[in-house]
Structure 1
Amino acid sequence: MTTRITGTREEWRAARLDLLGAEKELTRRSDELARRRQSLPWVKVDKVYRFDTEAGSATLADLFKGRSQLLVYHFMFGPDYTAGCPSCSSIADGFNGIVVHLENHDVAFTAVSRAPFAKLQAFKRRMGWGFDWASSFGSDFNADFSVWFSEDQQRDGGIEYNYRREPPMDGVPAGPAADGPGAQCAARAGTDFATFIRERPGVSAFAQEGGEVYHTYSSYARGVDGIWGMYQWLDRAPKGRNEQGIWWRHHDAYERG
C-alpha cells in the first residue's frame, strides 16, 4: 500500500506528468516484449493429445476450430478437486467477454484442466461461464506443458515449473503456513495442499500451419498476472492491491451487500 499524501491540483499534475513518462516507457517496453514473444521459434507438436469437449473427443488441432491460432489457459482443476482453484476462477471470470473478439480475429481460446469433463461442466454452470473448457483427463498434455506433476516428482524434487527446479516437498504445511494462501486456496478447491499444488496455472499459445500444430509460447506463475483483469484494475485504484493473504473467493461465495 502506498503512503497517502495530499497536494494541490498543480502538484498533482506535475507528478502525474512525471509518471506519464514512466508509463509510456513501460508501454514501449511491453510492445517490445510482445514482439520477442512472437519471434520465438515454433516447436512442432508431434504427440497426439485427446481432450473431452462439448463436441466430443477432440485433438489439439480440433481445438483450433478452423482458426490458425489457439490460446490455452491451464486452469487448476485436478480430478480430486471439488471446485476450481479460486485464483484461476477469478481470472476466468474475465474470459467470457473476450472470447468472441478473439474468435473473430483468427484466435481460438479454451481452458484446459485434468478434471473429468462432467466435473468441469458442472462447475462451469455454477459459475455461469460460456467459454470452451476441455478436459485433458488421462492425457499427457498437462504434464508435457509443465502444469501437472506427480506425487513422486513432488516428493523427490522432480518439479520444474516456470523454468526453474523446485526443491522436494517435505510433508505438508505446518504452523502459520498451514493457514497460508496456498492452503486456503486448496481448502476452497476441496482438496489438500499437496494435491492442490501438483496442478499449476499457465498460458500456452499454439499455431496451426500446413496441417501441422506448433507450440509457440508458454508462461507461468506471475507470468499469468497480465491476464488477471482484477489486478489490472486494482493497480489503478487509490490503494492498489492492498491485500494481506487470499481475500478473493469464487464469485458466488462473497457476501452480498
Structure 2
Amino acid sequence: MDAMPEIADRETFQAQLDELRVREKAHTRAGDAIAAARRRLPMVEVDATTPLVGTDGQVTLLDAFEGRRQLIAYYMMWHTGHPAAEQCEGCTYFNGKVRELSYLHAAGITYATFCQGPYEESVRYRDFMGWDMPWYSAEDSVETLLVGRRVGMFHLVCYLRDGDRVFETYWTTGRGVEALDNTYPLMDMTVYGRQEEWEESPEGWPHDGSIDGGFHRVNGRPASQWPRLEAGHSDDLGTRS
C-alpha cells in the first residue's frame, strides 16, 4: 500500500495551506515577470519562403500563418517508416492537448504542427488521432528552420509576421513544451504528483510515472491511441508491408 500524508484537523490543514499559498502567489508573479522579459527579447528574421508540405502540396512558412500575425509551431518528432504504435509518446501527449484553437485565432495566433517526417505518412497519424490542427511536413526544411538546434528533438517555436517578412521570437524544448499541457499541472495539485522519480516526494510515494513510459505509453502504445482503436479508427500509416 502506498504511503499517505499524515492526518490533521481542518484548522491545521488550512494553516499550512495558507503558508503554501504565499509561495504559490510568488511563483505566479515570477512567471509573469519571466513572460514580460520574453516579450522584450530581440527577434531574428527567417526566410518566409521556406518550403513546407501541407494539404494543398508545397506551401511556404508565410502561408502557414493563414493570414494571422503570429504563428506557434510544434515540431513533432517522427520515426519514418514505423507504425503508429512506435511513434513518439511524448509528442503524441503534448501535441494532442491542443484542441480548441478558436481563442488563439481570436487573438491573431495560428497554431500548427510542423512534423519532421513525410507528409502523407504523418498526416495519417494526425487523422488517426482525431486531431484537427493544421499539419505540415517540415522534413526538407527542418535543418534550416531549427538551425543551431538539435534536429529530431521536439521544439515549440513562436513566429511574428510583418507583411511578407517572418521573424522568430522565441523557442523552447524539453520541459518548456509543458505550456501545451493540462495533465501535468493537474497532477501537480494532487498528493502523489506526477509520480516521477526525479520529484522530491516523501518516502514511500508511488513512482508509477517512471515505469515503462509511465502514463505516456500503455501496453506498448502511446496511451491516447487506445481509445481511437477501440472506436474503430485505423492506425494504418501506409507503412505496413
- Normalization by structure 1: what TM-score? 0.73
State how far apart, in whole Å, the 1-side matches of 2:164 and 2:48 are: 14
Identity of aligned residues (%): 24
Query: How many angstroms apart in 1 are the aligned matches of 2:33 and 2:82?
Result: 39
Residue 37 and residue 80 in structure 1: after superposition, are their counterparts in 2 closer, same or farther (change >3 A)?
farther
In structure 2, distance between residues paired with 1:202 and 1:145: 12
Q: Does 1:128 align with 2:130?
A: yes
Q: 2:91 aligns with which of 75, 84, 88?
A: 88
Query: C-alpha displacement at 1:113, in angstroms?
Result: 1.3
**Match in the other structure for 1:115:** 117
What does the per-residue CA deviation read over 1:107-136, in whole Å, with 9 as the maximum and x for residues that have no partner?
011011121111111111111111112101
Query: Which string of whole-angstrom CA distances, capped at 9 and with x for unpartnered residues, describes residues 148-187 of structure 1?
Result: 1xxxxxxxxxxxxxxxxxxxxxxxxxxxxxxxxxxxxxxx
**Aligned match of 2:31:** 30
1:183 paired residue number: none
CA deviation profile, 1:94-118 (whole Å, cap 9, x unmatched): 1112x22111110011011121111
Q: In structure 1, what is the equivalent of residue 166 of structure 2? A: 213
Give the unaligned 5+ runs of structure 2: 196-208, 231-241
Residue 187 of structure 1 corresponds to which residue in structure 2? none
Report matched runs for 1:5-24 at 5 Å.
Answer: 5-24=6-25
**Secondary structure in 1 aligned to 2:71?**
strand
RMSD: 2.2
- Which of 146, 170, 177 is equivalent to 2:149? 146
* Closer, same or farther: CA 105–47 of 1 in aligned 2, 3 Å: closer
Q: What are the Cα deviations for residues 43-82 of structure 1, in whole angstroms up to 9, with x where unaligned?
A: 1113731111123321111111111100011111143443
Distance in 2 separating the partners of 1:145 and 1:111: 20
Shift of residue 235, structure 1, vs aligned partner:
0.7
- What is the CA-CA distance between 1:223 and the residue it aligns to? 1.6
- Cα deviation 1:217-243 (Å, max 9, x = unaligned): 000112222322221111112211112
AA aligned opposite 2:158: A
Matched residue count: 205
Q: Is the 8 A contact 1:80 1:115 kept in 2?
A: no
Specify the alignment match of 1:244 in structure 2: 210
CA distance in 1, matches of 2:185, 2:5: 20
Unaligned ranges ≥5, structure 1: 149-198
CA positional deviation for 1:2: 8.5
CA distance in 1, matches of 2:116, 2:163: 29
Residue type at the aligned position of 1:55: D
Partner Cα separation in structure 2 for residue 16 and residue 142 of structure 1:
46
Alignment match, 1:79: 80
Distance in 2 between the 1:145 and 1:108 partners?
A: 24
